[in-house]
Amino acid sequence: MKNLPLSGRYLFALAIIGIGLVHFVTGNFPSSLLPVPAMTGRLLLVYLIGFVFCAGGISLFFERVALTGAIIIGTTFLILFLFPHLPKLLSNVTDPGEWTVAAETLALCCGAFIVASVLAVKNHSTIKLNSLLSKALKLAPYVFALSLIVFAVQHYLYAKFISAIVPSSRPLTSAFRRKSATHRIAPGASPHPSSPAPIPRPTTRRSRTDGRPRQRRPRCRR
């Protein structure tokens, strides 16, 4: 458990590096995550943001620059949430797809700020943060929780669509989908330890033909 924050930071860094590499491999923004419209200098912006993500993700592996890298990653995702996601979301609040990608971008932003807050406490950082960034670090866990609630509500409202995108080898029933959504709303929920377990009732074995109870035949001793 002591190494959990460190391993989580490394996994987050790998995810950010992967997002950055997508920019260089495709020469475009990830279409669903960052739907940036056509504009002058768009290709330059693609490579610039890809470089920021790659460099920021690599910096999370080094203690000396990890805090700065986490703040840069979080600030970049915050800017990308404010544009283009927020205007598109406000223009059509009934679009479930835009709710999903906006919540994903916000969750990545909050994840970076959570990593930054952990690093600041761990390293006893003396970096003077401005008031806006300081509030962002404190509010990051709560906003991250809100993004999880958005995902959970999507499971309830669009259960048929979610079951359609799941591979056929792993079919999900409606009850299982609702259960997974409930665990997104309340992670770590468990039954009360004092609640007794149900006692199974004794059953009588019956034969398959006439429905009468089976009788044991006496064994003959030789």
Domain-embedded: residue 101: yes
User: 35 Cβ partners below 8 Å, 6+ apart?
Assistant: 29, 84, 85, 88, 101
pLDDT value of residue 197: 47
**Helix, strand, coil proportions of the chain in percent (round to 5)?**
65, 0, 35
pLDDT reading at 195 higher than 50: no
- Residue 163 counted as domain residue: no
Q: Could you report the per-residue pLDDT of 42-97, keeping only the tens digit for each? A: 999 999 999 999 999 999 999 889 999 999 999 999 999 998 899 989 998 888 88
Whether residue 187 is contained in a domain is answered as no
pLDDT at 107 over 70: yes
Residue 191: predicted pLDDT? 41
Number of domains in the chain: 1
Give the tokens for residue 168.
């056929």
Rounded to two decimals, what is the model's pTM? 0.71
> Is 144 or 203 the better-scoring residue by pLDDT?
144
Domain with 11, as residue range(s), is 4-144
Residue 166 included in any domain: no
* pLDDT at residue number 36: 82
DSSP secondary structure of 90-121: HH-TT-HHHHHHHHHHHHHHHHHHHHHHHHHH
3-state secondary structure of 123: coil
- Spell out the residues 6+ positions from residue 103 whose beta carbon is closer than 8 angstroms to its own: 147, 150, 151
Q: Considering the domain boundaries, does residue 216 fall inside one?
A: no
| pLDDT tens, residue by residue, 162-185 | 777 776 655 545 555 555 555 555
